[in-house]
Structure 1
Amino acid sequence: MEKFPEILNHFSIDSKSKDAQTIKKTIELCEESEVKHKEKKTCVTSLESMVDFGLSVLGTNNILAITSEVQGETQASQRYTIEQVQQISDGDNMVCHKLNYAYALHYCHVGGSTRTYMVSMVGVDGTKVKAVSVCHKDTSFWNAHAIPFVVLKVKPGTMPICHFLQDDQIVFVPI
């Protein structure tokens, strides 16, 4: 954050603009300390840094990188039928989320034991999706006011929380 004005100046971004606020939030996320002992995180600007961090936190040189895939382009919200569920891994994984910034930037983190699945689905319009799903087995250290707990009306640590990854997110699993 100490170089925030320099960053805005470098990219010719008005400090009062929506883009400036987005960049500020991204920097705050990247600089936020690891408050929970079960989470390791970093922000990376290259594929090489992403892989290096994954190798170090997963403790192996044998990793698989997977992402959700959508066959065709659909903007419509629709119902999907699950055709197949395949477990990819059981244990730690690392997920990298694309961030809004002036250049390519990803937030990568390992947050406790998970099960990772590839779920094949087909939409009512015929769109085929292979979606990565991550199930967090230990949610005891999560914020009790996080959206999953509010929506599901459960408390942290009482049950696994599963979610799909968007197609701009990457999960790395040991193989």
Structure 2
Amino acid sequence: MEEGETNTNTKFCATSLESLLDSARQVFGSNPQLKVLTTIHIRNSTTVLQNYTITEVKEIISDPNVLGCHPMPYPYAVFFCQTQKNDTKLYEVLVEGDNGAKVQAAAVCHVDTSKWDSARGKSPVCHFFHSDNLVLVLSPAATPSP
């Protein structure tokens, strides 16, 4: 187990979308209504590097059960999926490049990173998911009210 991880983390590899959903049921419950997010290029760009400006941010859910799945470099479909049960927020972010390229991106922020490095305190760490990654959460309509 890596520093900062607790035994409430879930990690698995899925070799098909069916096995990914079967494993997601273990994380979210037997019959979950899931919302799946990914990063979408709305208007593509041929520019390799450019500045982007965040034009819209929508918080999808603030929940400890955010399941991120990343493709692995195999000749067939393999996703490495993980969730950390901590203060995690999921966002859908619209960014626009200098040349007009638009990307709707899934972004996850880990709010409390003190277990990663005690010197960081509670400084958040956010990262965007690539377009071939998947982020699964309970659908807001399926989330029980407090």
- The corresponding residue for 1:55 is 25
Question: What displacement does 1:139 show?
Answer: 2.5
Provide the residue aligned with 2:58 in structure 1. 86
Which structure 1 residue ranges, 5 or more long, are not aligned? 1-31, 145-153
Q: TM-score, normalised by structure 1?
A: 0.68
**TM-score relative to the length of structure 2:** 0.81
Quote the residue 1:166 is aligned against.
Answer: 130
What residue is the counterpart of 1:104 in the other structure?
77
The verdict on how the C-alpha distance between 1:46 and 1:125 changes in structure 2, with shifts beyond 3 A counting, is: same
Aligned partners of 1:87 and 1:39: how far apart in 2? 23
From the superposition, tell whether residues 56 and 157 of structure 1 become closer, same or farther in structure 2 (CA, over 3 Å).
farther
What corresponds to 1:19 in structure 2? none
Counting matched residue pairs gives 133
The code of the aligned residue for 1:115 comes to K
Structure 1 vs Structure 2 CA RMSD: 2.1
Can you give the 5+ residue segments of structure 2 that lack an aligned partner in the other structure? 140-146
Give SS of 1:103's match. Answer: coil
Greater per-residue strand proportion: 2
Post-superposition CA distance 1:76-127 (Å, at most 9, x none)? 1111121110011111200000011232111001112310000011101111
Q: Secondary structure at the match of 1:155?
A: helix
The correspondence of residues 118-157 of structure 1 with structure 2, limited to 5 A, is 118-142=92-116, 144=117, 155-157=119-121
Are the aligned partners of 2:111 and 2:122 in contact in 1 as well (CA < 8 Å)?
Answer: no
Tell me how far 1:137 sits from its aligned partner: 2.2
Contact (CA 8 Å) 2:114, 2:123: kept in 1 or not? no
- Matched-pair contact (CA < 8 Å) for 1:58–1:93: no
Question: Stretches of 4+ moved more than 6 A in 1?
Answer: none
Q: Which of the pair is proportionally richer in helix?
A: 1
Partner of 1:45: 15
* Identical amino acids, percent of aligned pairs: 35
